[in-house]
Structure 1
Amino acid sequence: MDTSQAQLLGRWRAELQGRSAPVLLQLTPHPLLRESVHGTLQRDGSMVLLSGDVDQGQLTLEESTDGKHISANWLGTVQDGSCGKEIRGIWSSDTTPPISIPFVLRKQAPE
């Protein structure tokens, strides 16, 4: 199944291995790139910006803590049989040394 930009829109709950609290993401249509998304996530009391897309079931999201530089990446695969509502992959920071953590993203019902 090929997942589209429209299926990424909305609220997602991310569970990162080793973190007790989930991270909530909100994705909306990107204002300049038609097939892409942008949005925000809340982590440790801070707002982080997101931008990315999905292509042939592969998710790529870049996060930025300052709105200018990439601070981390989400690379994942839409899970077969999930109707585009579950994505599993690796979150990687651009720190020295880099950190890589497995994640599960699950689409949340609209409020």
Structure 2
Amino acid sequence: MNTAHQRFWAITGMAAVFALSGCNSIQLNCSATADIRPEQLHGFWKVRLGATDSHWTLQLGPHPEHRGSLRGELSQGALRYPVVADLDGQDFTLEESHDGQRIAATWLGEVVTSSCGQTLRGERIGPQERREAFDMQR
């Protein structure tokens, strides 16, 4: 076996040991939070709202009328609410509607720096200025 093959098998073996050991101390190599673009938020998110641990699904995609903005749907069971959102640097803003016409709640949050754009956290401000924390994850 030549040196290149030995190196390949040594690296492969080390990767297997890390994977099997559940090693989670390896740093992910990802873009800086400021480099995250709205397109990277497209897709499905799991959303946890407030202390009640209420879980929702959020689907985001490109907004057809406003380049760089997002449009989608927040859902839980039979409930379906249209949303529009924007990402400016690490600042995330989402507007939720219950009738497709008026804003029912505003979500203000930011991308969690160490998450490579996979987690957003902030606060949902609903009717009567009711505030509750939110956590969004891929």
Q: Which has more radius of gyration?
A: 2
Structure 2: gaps of 5 or more residues: 1-32
Give the AA of the match of 1:55. Answer: D
Percent identity, aligned pairs only, is 34
Q: Which has the higher contact order (CA 8 A, sep 6+)?
A: 1
Equivalent runs, 1:45-64 vs 2, <5 Å:
45-64=78-97
Report how far residue 98 of structure 1 moved: 1.9
- State the Cα distance separating 1:46 from its structure 2 match: 1.3
**Where in structure 1 are there 5+ consecutive unaligned residues?**
none
State the match for 2:55 in structure 1. Answer: 22
Distance 2:42 2:116 in 1: 14
Distance between the aligned counterparts of 2:67 and 2:98, measured in 1? 23
Comparing 14-23 with 73-82, greater Cα deviation is found at: 14-23
Cα distance in structure 2, aligned partners of 1:39 and 1:13: 14
What TM-score do you get using the length of structure 1 for normalisation? Answer: 0.89
Q: How much does 1:56 deviate?
A: 1.1
TM-score normalised by the chain length of structure 2:
0.72
Q: Which one has a larger percent strand, Structure 1 or Structure 2?
A: 1
Query: How far is 1:52 from its partner?
Result: 1.1
Q: Provide the C-alpha distance between the structure 2 equivalents of 1:32 and 1:82, rounded to a whole number of angstroms.
A: 29
What is the root-mean-square deviation in Å for CA atoms of aligned residues?
A: 1.2
Query: Aligned residue pairs: how many?
Result: 105
Using the TM superposition, give the Cα deviation of residue 44 of structure 1 relative to its aligned residue in structure 2, in angstroms. Answer: 5.7
Q: Does 1:99 align with 2:122?
A: no
